[in-house]
Amino acid sequence: MKPLRRFPLALVVPAFVPFVLAGCSLLPEPRPDPTRFYVLAGDAASAVTPGGPAVQVRAVEVAGYLRNRPMVVRRGGSEIEFREHARWGEPLEQGVSRLLSSGLRARGVNIAPVGAGAPVLSVRVLACEGVSDGAVIFRAAWELTGGASPAAGEFIASGLRWDTKSEGSLATQLGAAVLSLADEVAAAASRKP
């Protein structure tokens, strides 16, 4: 049996450098992340209206399937698609609460701190999604309790359409739906007993 020959390290390393460099060029180039983030937005002011009605806004509840960050598009009666590359930039319940509060203030309703004795507004969002044909579905049950004129209702947005190639337009239309809900609640909060 012959003894193994030892090669000097200075000769072995340079022989492998071309293989290592060639391997580096074979790696795929990184791709940009296609994920986009959206928030509910609309034209709403946040001024206080002296002498206007006041409500306390409880934390908004959303249906279980809406608690995920991806936007939802309905494809059929019972089929929904989570758009993984189109995500809400904040939990949907927080976005609805923020825009609803801003919309109420813009309509002359003051937002009272919790425990202030003002009527309490409870909102549960039942649907908040686009439809693959361009329709927009937004439904919410709301209730004003604790005041002289309690009120309740189920709001259903109508006449809203989105560009099915742009989730940004869906976010805009859902924001418009939340502001329409603010119209309905503000009218109820402003009614005299």
Tell me, what's the pLDDT at 9?
59
Beta strands in the chain, from DSSP E residues, in sequence order: 36-38, 54-57, 61-62, 70-74, 80-88, 110-111, 120-131, 136-145, 151-156
Work out whether strand 151-156 and strand 70-74 pair parallel, antiparallel, or are unpaired: unpaired
Q: What residues does 135 pair with on adjacent strands?
A: 161
Q: Which residues pair with 88 in a beta bridge?
A: 38
Q: Which domains does the chain have, with CATH numbers?
A: 37-190 (3.40.50.10610)
Question: What CA–CA distance (Å, rounded) separates 146 from 161?
Answer: 36
The reported pTM is: 0.81
117-155 burial: b if 16+ Cβ within 10 Å, else e: ebbbbbbbbbbbbbbeeebbbbbbebbbeebeeebeeeb
Q: Which of 44, 39, 57 is nearest to 179 (CA)?
A: 44
Residue-by-residue pLDDT tens, the chain, 193 positions? 666 666 565 555 565 555 555 555 566 788 888 899 999 987 766 666 677 899 999 999 999 999 999 999 999 889 999 999 999 999 999 999 999 999 999 999 999 998 888 999 999 999 999 999 999 999 999 999 987 789 999 999 999 999 999 999 999 999 999 999 999 999 999 887 6
Alpha-carbon dihedral angle through residues 58, 151, 49, 57, given to the nearest 10 degrees: 0
Write down the pLDDT at residue 49.
65
Q: Which one-letter amino acid corresponds to residue 157?
A: A
pLDDT computed for residue 137 by the predictor: 97
Helix H, strand E, coil C: the string for 65-85 is HHCCCEEEEECCCCCEEEEEE
- Residue 50 has what pLDDT? 77
Residue 64 DSSP one-character state: G
